[in-house]
Copies of this chain bind each other. A is one copy, B any other.
Amino acid sequence: MQIKEKIQEEIQNEEANAPIESERILSERLGASRMTVRKAIEELVEEGVLYREDKKGTFVSDRSLWKKNTTFINSEDTDLEYRLINFDIKISADKEVLEQLNIKDSDSVSIIRIVRKILENKKPQSVEEFYIIRSFIDDKDTNKFNKLLDLNNYLKDNIITQKFVPMIVPTKYAAMLNLSLDAPIIKIEGVVKTKSAEPFIYYKIYNNPEQKNLEMTL
C-alpha cells in the first residue's frame, strides 16, 4: 500500500520514540480515509517499526526492536552461497520421511531429495535436507533449486511447522560444518502443508551454531 510506504519514508530519519502525526492529520495530509491510514500504521506496528500508546499517540520504535525471526529466514544483507551435495528423485525414503509426508503407499509417490550446504561469508552455516513430493510442484520448477528450496515462497499459501531438536552433530556432517565430532547443534525439522493440511515438503536443517544465530522477536 502506498500510504504505508509514504509513512515509512517519512519516519526513516526520525529518532527512536519520536511521535508521528496522528491518524486524523495523516489521513488528511495524505488524502486517504482514516481507516486506510490506520491499516497502514497497523502493519508497521505488526513489523515492530512503530508502536502505539493507547490514547497518547504512535511512536517510532528503536531499530533493535524490529521484529525478526532468523530461525526461519536468513537475515538480509548476508553473503550466502549454496552448494549442492545431493539431488535425486527416488521412489523409496526413510520411514520417518514417509510418515511426515503422510504417505501410505510409497510405491505410488515420487519424492525428490535435495541436500545442500549453505555458506555465509565463506563459512559453513548449515546443511539442509529437503524431501519434496514431486506431484505438488510444477514440472518446470523441478530443477530450479533456488525457487524450490526458498521456504519464503511457501509461506503465503501454506502452513509451516518447525521443531527445534538439540543433538550432537551427525558424524557425516561434522566435517562439512567444520565442527568437532562432539559439538552440540540445533537441528530444525519442518513440514510444509497446504492450507487443507496436506504435507508435501519435509526438511531438516543442521545448523552450525558458530555461524547461525537462531533468534526471534515476539
Contacts and interface: CB of A to CB of B under 8 A. Distances in A.
A65 B166 contact: no
A16 interface: yes
B65 A193 contact: yes
Contacts of A159: 48, 61, 65, 217-218
Interface stretch (A23-31, A107-115, A207-215): A207-215
Nearest to A66: B159
A206 to B, nearest CB: 11
Contact of A215 (B17, B51, B163, B167): B163
Nearest to A193: B65
Contact of A163 (B35, B161, B214): B214
A48, A71, A72, A155, most chain B CB atoms within 10 A: A71
Nearest to A213: B163
Nearest to A189: B215
Given A62-B197, A197-B62, A215 B184 contact: no
A166 B193 contact: no
B166 A209 contact: yes
A1 interface: no
Contact of A186 (B61, B166, B215, B216): B166
B166 A166 contact: yes
Contacts of A185: 166, 184
22 contacts: A16-B196, A17-B196, A35-B35, A48-B159, A53-B195, A61-B197, A64-B197, A65-B159, A71-B164, A71-B216, A160-B218, A161-B216, A162-B218, A163-B213, A163-B214, A164-B186, A164-B214, A166-B166, A166-B185, A168-B184, A184-B184, A186-B186
A203 to B, nearest CB: 13
A165 to B, nearest CB: 7
Interface string A148-182: 00000001000111111111100000000000000
Interface string A49-84: 001010000010110110001011000000000000
